[in-house]
């Protein structure tokens, strides 16, 4: 059985080696890149299961690398940032990153995050089909496919899980904390702003598609997938 492959991208060779040691100990295969341009090339060659991506990189920064990878792959991306500002975290999520970790990080936390993201994004062929359908909208969580008017719309795994969770519970209002707990899971260390970012991106894909349903904000509470009779 082949090992799941992780691409670690950081210009600090010590960090790359540290992560390699810990991840290989956990049973992963690890490949590394030390600049953004190499990261994109190596990704195309190796097709890793997940990317650990530093933001401050030579040639192409982490934001640019994330954009490039998202043009052709939905593989999970965890951003590494030494800054920790909310703006950085939100921007990464808007570009399609699945999670973020602030430096200095604990290696055990990194491993836990990787396993959690891989677990959430992995699909078993034997799984029961998970699908909900509404007017001009199809959400299939077995193959992680979102269709609008019958046309496939590229959607990162976490956005798929969020819209599926809301749509399978129509007209139920969820708080941000509930969504973090039920969609992201107990092992997610983020804040409620994460939910807002993902809802914003979903709205860009779904707004105005149908007058029979709507992804609505319930001010002061949270969000719901509202269906109209």
pLDDT band at 106 (very low <50, low <70, confident <90, very high): confident
pLDDT band at 123 (very low <50, low <70, confident <90, very high): very low
**Average confidence (pLDDT) over 8-21:** 95
User: Which two structure tokens, joined as six digits, stand for 220?
Assistant: 């002061």
- In b/e form, how buried is each residue of 77-98, taking b as 16+ CB within 10 angstroms? bbbbbeeeeeebbbbbbebbbb
- pLDDT at position 88: 67
- pLDDT at position 87: 57
**Residue 189 near residue 181, CB atoms below 8 Å:** no
pLDDT band at 78 (very low <50, low <70, confident <90, very high): very high
Superfamily of domain 5-121: Response regulator (3.40.50.2300)
- pLDDT at position 57: 93
**Average confidence (pLDDT) over 108-120:** 86
pLDDT in tens, 158-168: 899 999 999 99
Topology, domain 131-227: Arc Repressor Mutant, subunit A (1.10.10)
- Mark residue 136 as left, alpha or beta (left: phi above 0; alpha: psi -120 to 50; beta: remaining): left
Number of neighbouring beta carbons within 10 Å of residue 57: 22
- What does the alpha-carbon distance between residue 76 and residue 31 come to, in Å, rounded to a whole number? 15
- pLDDT at position 188: 57
Alpha-helix runs per DSSP H in 122-213: 157-167, 176-179, 193-206
pLDDT in tens, 15-57: 999 999 999 999 999 999 999 999 999 999 999 999 999 998 9
Domains of the chain: which residue ranges?
5-121, 131-227
């Amino acid at each position: 059985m082949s090992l799941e492959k992780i691409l670690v991208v950081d210009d600090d060779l010590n960090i790359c080696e540290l992560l390699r040691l810990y991840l290989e100990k956990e049973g992963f295969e690890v490949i590394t890149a030390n600049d953004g341009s190499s990261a994109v090339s190596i990704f195309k060659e190796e097709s890793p299961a997940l990317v650990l991506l530093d933001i401050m990189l030579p040639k192409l920064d982490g934001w640019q690398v994330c954009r490039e990878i998202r043009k052709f792959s939905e593989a999970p991306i965890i951003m590494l940032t030494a800054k920790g500002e909310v703006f950085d975290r939100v921007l990464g999520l808007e570009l399609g990153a699945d999670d973020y970790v602030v430096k200095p990080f604990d290696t055990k936390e990194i491993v836990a995050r990787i396993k959690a993201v891989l677990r959430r994004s992995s699909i078993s062929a034997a799984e029961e089909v998970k699908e909900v359908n509404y007017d001009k909208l199809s959400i299939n969580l077995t193959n992680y496919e979102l269709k609008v008017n019958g046309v496939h719309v590229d959607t990162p795994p976490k956005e798929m899980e969020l819209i599926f969770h809301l749509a399978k519970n129509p007209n139920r209002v969820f708080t941000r904390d509930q969504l973090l707990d039920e969609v992201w899971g107990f092992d997610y260390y983020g804040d409620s702003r994460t939910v807002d970012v993902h809802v914003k991106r979903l709205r860009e894909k779904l707004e105005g598609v149908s007058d029979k349903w709507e992804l609505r904000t319930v001010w002061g509470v949270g969000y719901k997938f509202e269906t109209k009779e």
